Structure 1
Amino acid sequence: MLGAVQLGLFAACIVLFVPMGMAGWHLSRNKVLFFSGALFITLAVGVHLTPYFPSVSDFITSVKSSSVVVVDDDDVVVVEDRDSCVSLLHEIAWEVMPSKVFDPFLNNNSLNYEKFWSWSKSSDTDSCEFQRLKKNDVMDLLNGSWVMVAGDSQARIFTLSLLSLVLDSERVESVRSLLFKRHSDYHIVVDEMGLKLDFIWAPYPSNLTDLVLEFKHKHLYPDVLVMGSGLWHMLHITNASDYGVLLRLLRNSVTSMLPVPPKFGNDGPVVGSVSSVRSPHLFWLGIPTLINSMLNTKEKREKMSDVVQGEYTREVRKSGILREFGGPFRLLDIGSLSLNCGIKCTDDGMHYDADVYEAELHVMFNALLIESHQKL
């Protein structure tokens, strides 16, 4: 496929050499001048009208959004679309096995198991070259960025998992007690990488909408914004329709907040950290898979049934808040990851082991790399 530069050179050659060839056939000078002028005008008009023809525009856009991968020594080439790679990010396989120090007397069953995750092996996922980032890679990716995570207890655990990847274990333990103060916000600056990280306690969708309106009022937006809500609404209000209405209000507020409309995405080239992108990178932290029999109160078991969870999941899709349904947020599907990890990865049927959130973090990191055309 020809790029814009090659097409321009090709057109220039036509304008230059075709009239010369006609002159070589002994046509009159006036005829040659007339034909070359008409040819030049036709090409110029065609170039300027190209954006108004959807099929041509779509073709050019598809060229821009694709990358070429050489598969083997036989020069087999696969064109992989960025969106196709993003759709494969949650193709993660789990290996859960008894720990070497298995203790049958432990009530905390998840401690008795070791968990290992990796992207499923297939030609499609291999060609996308997903990366499990090391500490230095994460620090490079988020260098100089402002990251905000807002939501309920799931978002709080997600925040701790992120800090666990960039801080040493001693500092993580000191952070844990402050981060897990009941119903509180948390702020930290990691000086060595210039990372500013905020956790905002916002258990209901209306809390998230208020936060977005505050962004809009101050004209200040984080570089990476992770939001999630559902568990509190499910337990304390238990009305899926009301939840859907609130999600649509949130979607509308976020859409009006964006410096760049969400339909255009964050596809511009990025140099350095993710903070150089005009529009925030937006992620929606999904509801985890709830294991009803393990929920620790009768109220939870009654109000957070499988049926109710299904209704809430459908409202997320119907609200149009997710990118795959025309919305601004890219889904971090903690529901599928927790389901695949299974019952041995949770102690209370709601909050999962750190491995699940770590895997979801790497999904987000790779989505950031794809969106910003970076490779570590």
Structure 2
Amino acid sequence: MAACVVLFVPMAMAGWHLSRNKVLFFSGALFVSLAVCIHLIPYFPSVFPSSPTVLLQQDPTPCISLINEKLSRIDVSDLLNGSWIVVAGDSQARLFVVSLLDLVLSLDEMESIQADLFKRHSNYHIVVEEIGMKLDFIWAPYATNLTHVITDFKRNNTYPDVLVMGSGLWHMLHFTNYSDYGVSLRFLRESLIPFLPVGSDSTRGFHLFWLGMPTLINRMLNTEEKRVKMTSEMCNLYDQELYKSKILRKDGGVFLLLDVENLSKKCGVDCSSDGMHYNGVVYEACVHVMLNALLIESHQKL
């Protein structure tokens, strides 16, 4: 708009038979004035209304665009063919399962399993016959529950090909004791000692992923108890205990972190209805991070 003003107004003035000097002087003064106004706009938002570009910044698609490679349904089916996948955790883990199944099942199949998949505080089991994939969701909201899952695997001497685990939200709400959370994570690490890295063998037979806690939007949490106990300060303390427990691969453990906190933060407020659970795009991004890691590790073993 400024360019059009600078171009056409002097042309119109020239049509009024003004002298060339007057036209040049006016166009120069007009250009300088417009340039000053444009540079001052960001500092006076109340005077100059902002544009609707903020809506674009809250578009949840950056969660997926951060992933280097988004696998197709065929690629996912080939990668997970014949696999046994176990996901253990709370409602965040259940939403992760939804996004994973959404990549291998049709829309009709997804609709048919909704009722069973979303039964509160319950386990879920499915076999996708077309690709021979078996998936188990285990309701395990506390780290101590996750330790029991590992113990059961060792007792039965049967292990999944892929294991995804995560906890923290329930402990933060019902115990609000970050040091106790850290102790339970260290017990979990001890149960995983047989699978700790030895030389170049980082997983000893199966792939392990840790589903991190999401960014909590305190003012949107749906109960007063949650708003009081689940603060950003408490979240930071729980995160510190996670890193100090050394269960993550980068700290010498076995779990590769699926960073839900970072992905949910980038999606922003519009991605959540209750300040805790996010739109499917966040969990879909986590699934693709996991799938890409599996793809890389499978190529390395070849």
TM-score (norm 1): 0.63
Give 1:170 deviation, angstroms.
1.2
Select the residue among 35, 51, 61 that pairs with 1:115.
Answer: 61
Whole-angstrom distance in 1 between the partners of 2:115 and 2:300: 35
Whether contact under 8 Å (2:62, 2:266) holds in the other structure is: no
Other structure's SS at 1:348 match = coil
Pair 1:341-2:267 in alignment = yes
Which runs of structure 2 are paired with 1:83-232 in the superposition (5 Å)? 97=55, 115-120=61-66, 130-232=68-170
Give 1:173 deviation, angstroms.
1.4
Give 1:182 deviation, angstroms.
1.0
- Number of the residue aligned with 2:235: 309
Other structure's SS at 1:331 match = strand
Whole-angstrom distance in 2 between the partners of 1:304 and 1:201: 21
- Number of the residue aligned with 1:327: 253
- Number of the residue aligned with 2:212: 286
Whole-angstrom distance in 2 between the partners of 1:320 and 1:172: 37
Other structure's SS at 1:262 match = coil
Distance 1:119 1:185, change over 3 A: same
Whole-angstrom distance in 1 between the partners of 2:64 and 2:223: 34
Select the residue among 281, 286, 290 that pairs with 1:360.
Answer: 286
Identity %: 58
More strand by share: 1
Give 1:251 deviation, angstroms.
0.8
Computed over aligned residues only, the root mean square deviation of the Cα atoms, in angstroms, reads 2.1
- Equivalences, count: 248
Give 1:117 deviation, angstroms.
4.0
- Which letter maps to 2:93? A
Pair 1:372-2:270 in alignment = no
TM-score (norm 2): 0.78
Deviations 1:3-57 (A, max 9, x none): xxxxxxxxxxxxxxxxxxxxxxxxxxxxxxxxxxxxxxxxxxxxxxxxxxxxxxx
Distance 1:236 1:265, change over 3 A: farther
Q: Which has the higher contact order (CA 8 A, sep 6+)?
A: 2
Whole-angstrom distance in 1 between the partners of 2:236 and 2:65: 26
Which consecutive aligned stretches of 4+ in structure 1 deviate over 6 angstroms post-superposition? none
Structure 1 unaligned spans of 5+: 1-94, 99-109, 268-276
Pair 1:253-2:197 in alignment = no
Structure 2 unaligned spans of 5+: 1-52
Which runs of structure 2 are paired with 1:27-66 in the superposition (5 Å)? none
Distance 1:315 1:265, change over 3 A: farther
Give 1:226 deviation, angstroms.
0.1
